[in-house]
Structure 1
């Protein structure tokens, strides 16, 4: 079954969707969209470093993504506006990564594949890394779900309950770095934030509980992957962007449904 490249691509996309769903909900609730974007942009620098030192792409991207996320967390609240700080770090990391790639000699690299993803080229090894990373993210979020939710709702309530909000922020940071590392092969660094945010945002109008929103986001992300890949095959369009386009259409649909319900 795994000899079919479309089957591998579908399974890879579903793995990323399952990892991004619960994490994306916290990104939406905490208004961390730009934070996720900055972490994703830093991944291209991780690709360059991994190739330069002959390391695994996964190790390089997760290391740099984690360093970026920790740097943002450390610098926040120290006289810098968060949106300014994220803008500087996100675009600087992407620019340094692209420049670093240009210095690599003797190494052929498809830069477009890392920027926009190359899901159709996913190998069995890539599939194992993606599903392993996805399982780790889901397990991590599931383990800390209650504490993460409390810290997200109210930091004072979290302190009163014996929960350290900064520790929960670190958990989210780690999960985000892992998700970026496993998703880079599927949708690329420029579209990772879209897969984190759009399915979660689309699920929000249809959900009554946080758990329901995470589950609905996983369903929307999975359907976006399957339908997007089919559309890319039929219409001969780029696979990664096609998946994001379907997710965007789902967001428009759920928003319209929610508006009609309120108007009725």
Structure 2
């Protein structure tokens, strides 16, 4: 069977995560929610500990805790604390409590580094089913609410006028974010999930004139980063999750240089004022 090859399973897992993270990452960039995604991802370690203690599915534990973290941030925001302060406190607290909770789990061998930076080479068939099931669900939900999400993101007042509830759309994004964190933990780990959300979307921005094009370009960049990083890590014998993010960062730098060059060229072609 072709899925018996661990590199094929790793490539399929990385591709599934990239497909789910790319369009969601565009909304994270547009809404300036980068730290929000980071806080949700950090809570995943606490979900890992709880799933081990309760002997439940890792996916279910991480999804539940990530969703609770995202909802808690949404509820507490605007209640006397600046958003960046609140997210900073909750992100680092969740990670610290998760690491402490993991240390109390006895009788189970835990690969903590695998959860922190990912272990894509250990993706199993069951993991693939979870990754692709979650990715397809996220894509379906985003496609179903795409127009409403865009309107609520670009102009909340216009969303209200159109009969939309921006808070409901925020909850849709929260649910999608928690699900992406849950499926991505095996591939890039909790410390790098936010990078896989943000960097491909930021890289696609200079090459996109429409939101839909930005989502598609971000997906292509994410898939290239996942598979290119996997190949580079295999050849160079480096950690796979960080290598994927490193390649995504190099693509972002290249895109920034191209965008800067295009801007200067356009400025030089513009007619000078008389």
Is 2:76 aligned against 1:75?
yes
Secondary structure of 2:147's counterpart equals helix
> TM-score, normalising length from structure 1?
1.00
> TM-score, normalising length from structure 2?
0.96
Residues 19-34 of structure 1 mapped to structure 2, 5 A cutoff? 19-34=20-35
Residues 57-78 of structure 1 show CA distances to partners (whole Å, capped at 9, x for unaligned) of 0000000000000000000111
> Which residue is 2:6 aligned to?
5
> Which residue is 2:57 aligned to?
56
Is 2:224 aligned against 1:223?
yes
The answer for unaligned runs of 5 or more in structure 2 is 266-274
Q: If you compute each CA radius of gyration, which structure gives the higher value, 1 or 2?
A: 2
- Tell me the matched-pair count: 264
The CA distance in 1 between the partners of 2:91 and 2:135, in whole Å, is 24
1:226, distance to aligned residue in structure 2 (A): 1.1
Residues 1-264 of structure 1 mapped to structure 2, 5 A cutoff? 1-264=2-265
The CA distance in 2 between the partners of 1:212 and 1:47, in whole Å, is 35
1:228, distance to aligned residue in structure 2 (A): 0.4
1:98, distance to aligned residue in structure 2 (A): 0.2
Residues 42-92 of structure 1 show CA distances to partners (whole Å, capped at 9, x for unaligned) of 000000000000000000000000000000000011111000000000000
The CA distance in 1 between the partners of 2:70 and 2:178, in whole Å, is 8
Instruction: Note the aligned Cα RMSD (angstroms).
Output: 0.4
Secondary structure of 1:2's counterpart equals helix
> Which residue is 2:270 aligned to?
none
Residues 186-225 of structure 1 show CA distances to partners (whole Å, capped at 9, x for unaligned) of 0000000000000000000010000000000000000011
The CA distance in 1 between the partners of 2:142 and 2:158, in whole Å, is 20
The answer for unaligned runs of 5 or more in structure 1 is none
